[in-house]
């Protein structure tokens, strides 16, 4: 199955024929959506065509009704959903890591204070042996090499969540760059999708970028140790992602709107995010088909999600989503 997933990631799409389900959007959950689509077709004969084009593209395509579902890591507020006539529900939880390619520095060896990570992406910390980095990394051989910053060039929910985090740990970031799906970056190289940023990190020694954890695993990047909301060091690993995710407080009334970055707790990894599905309210019959796919994934796809580094939704949340579907006549 991993070979199938890798092949799909390379193509950015799972093949589909006329009359099958089509979706487009976030690259953040693409690896697990590809796997879910593969097992769904294997078990039901039905195909799902998912295009990993970024959350901004997904919102645009579902707003224009050119696909059957959109996917976004940036949740839309209830007012915007009403304006666009969309339903919204979460599908899975993932984490955004500061992925680096520093020759000689192993995965998890590098510690970065949250504010220093912001200063790297602001272009204020320019070299790996800057005093602010070396003071937190005694014993780690950090070279006098210029830091190559890698970021997204497209409208991205991953960027929204990453910039939300940076704006809450750095006043300079909040005042000078802000929060959004697409930003006026102070420095660095831009790539399209998590796939594009991953390629830039791979191709550029001494680089750092932000990607969903599944892309870190797939490419063998190092991931920096960051800080919890209270300032404690926390590694980028599953148990710490789960520690943050448990604080999610979903409500169907708000169409599950919630941002999960910087949750409380001594072991809560600071950049955890849910990814969301968007459905057009008037397409009842097609919505039922899309919901069948995600319901199948909720029942059968948790292990695949875990293997790829994602956190499946809790059973209680899945039941809440099913009630939401029933309320709107699509389940």
* Four-point Cα dihedral 197, 203, 207, 210, nearest 10: 20
Is the pLDDT at 294 greater than 90? The verdict is: yes
Is the pLDDT at 9 greater than 70? The verdict is: no
Q: Domain ranges for the chain, please list them.
A: 2-93+250-261+273-327, 96-244
* Residue 183's pLDDT band (cuts 50, 70, 90): very high
> So what's the architecture of 96-244 in CATH?
3-Layer(aba) Sandwich (3.40)
Q: What's residue 6's pLDDT?
A: 42
What is the average per-residue pLDDT within 71-94?
Answer: 97
Do the Cβ atoms of 206 and 148 come closer than 8 Å? yes
* Residue 197's pLDDT band (cuts 50, 70, 90): very high
Q: What's residue 47's pLDDT?
A: 96
Is the pLDDT at 2 greater than 70? The verdict is: no
- Look-up of token digits 């976004």: 72
Rounded CA gap, 183 and 206, in Å? 23
Is the pLDDT at 143 greater than 90? The verdict is: yes
Tell me, yes or no, if the two domains 2-93+250-261+273-327 and 96-244 fold the same way: yes
The better pLDDT of the pair 155, 262 is held by 262
Is the pLDDT at 59 greater than 60? The verdict is: yes
Is the pLDDT at 291 greater than 70? The verdict is: yes
Q: What's residue 17's pLDDT?
A: 39
What is the average per-residue pLDDT within 304-320?
Answer: 95
Rounded CA gap, 322 and 103, in Å? 47
Spell out the residues 6+ positions from residue 175 whose beta carbon is closer than 8 angstroms to its own: none
The full DSSP string for 101-150 is: E-TT--TTT-B--HHHHHHHHHTS--BTT-HHHHTT-TT----S-B-EEE
% of the chain at pLDDT higher than 90: 94
Is the pLDDT at 8 greater than 70? The verdict is: no
- Look-up of token digits 């955890």: 272
Helix (H, G, I), strand (E, B) or coil at 224: coil
Helix 55-63 × helix 157-169 angle, to 10°: 130
Q: What's residue 13's pLDDT?
A: 43
Is the pLDDT at 293 greater than 50? The verdict is: yes
* Four-point Cα dihedral 190, 195, 201, 204, nearest 10: -70
> pLDDT tens-digit profile of 224-278?
999 999 999 999 999 999 999 999 999 999 999 999 999 999 999 999 999 999 9
Q: Which of 301, 277, 307, 302 is nearest to 289 (CA)?
A: 277
Topology (CATH) of 2-93+250-261+273-327: D-Maltodextrin-Binding Protein; domain 2 (3.40.190)
What is the average per-residue pLDDT within 175-182?
Answer: 97
Q: What's residue 19's pLDDT?
A: 47
* Residue 18's pLDDT band (cuts 50, 70, 90): very low
């Amino acid at each position: 199955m991993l070979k199938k997933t890798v092949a799909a990631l390379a193509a950015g799409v799972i093949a589909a024929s006329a009359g099958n389900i089509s979706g487009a959007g976030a690259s953040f959950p693409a690896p697990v959506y590809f796997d879910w689509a593969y097992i769904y077709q294997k078990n039901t004969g039905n195909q799902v065509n998912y295009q990993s084009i970024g959350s901004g593209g997904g919102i645009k395509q579902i707003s224009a009704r050119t696909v059957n579902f959109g996917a976004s890591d940036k949740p839309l507020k209830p007012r915007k959903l009403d304006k666009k006539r969309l339903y919204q529900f979460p599908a899975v939880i993932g984490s955004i890591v500061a992925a680096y390619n520093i020759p000689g520095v192993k995965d998890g060896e590098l510690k970065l204070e949250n504010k220093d990570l912001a200063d790297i992406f602001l272009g204020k910390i320019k070299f790996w042996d800057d005093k602010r980095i070396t003071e937190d990394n005694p014993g780690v051989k950090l070279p006098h090499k210029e830091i190559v910053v890698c970021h997204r060039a497209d409208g991205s929910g991953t960027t929204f969540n990453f910039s939300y985090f940076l704006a809450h740990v750095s006043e300079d970031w909040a005042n000078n760059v802000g929060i959004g799906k697409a930003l006026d970056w102070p420095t660095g190289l831009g790539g399209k999708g998590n796939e594009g940023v991953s390629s830039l990190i791979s191709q550029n020694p001494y680089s750092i970028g932000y990607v969903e954890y599944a892309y870190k695993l797939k490419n063998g990047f190092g991931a920096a140790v960051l800080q919890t909301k209270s300032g404690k060091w926390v590694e980028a690993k599953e148990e710490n992602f789960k520690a943050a995710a448990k604080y999610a407080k979903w409500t169907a009334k708000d169409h599950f709107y919630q941002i999960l970055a910087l949750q409380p707790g001594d072991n809560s990894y600071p950049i955890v995010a849910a990814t969301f599905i968007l459905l057009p309210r008037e397409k009842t019959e097609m919505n039922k088909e899309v919901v069948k796919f995600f319901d199948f994934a909720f029942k059968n796809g948790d292990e695949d999600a875990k293997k790829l580094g994602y956190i499946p939704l809790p059973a209680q949340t899945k039941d809440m989503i099913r009630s939401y579907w029933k309320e709107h006549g699509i389940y």
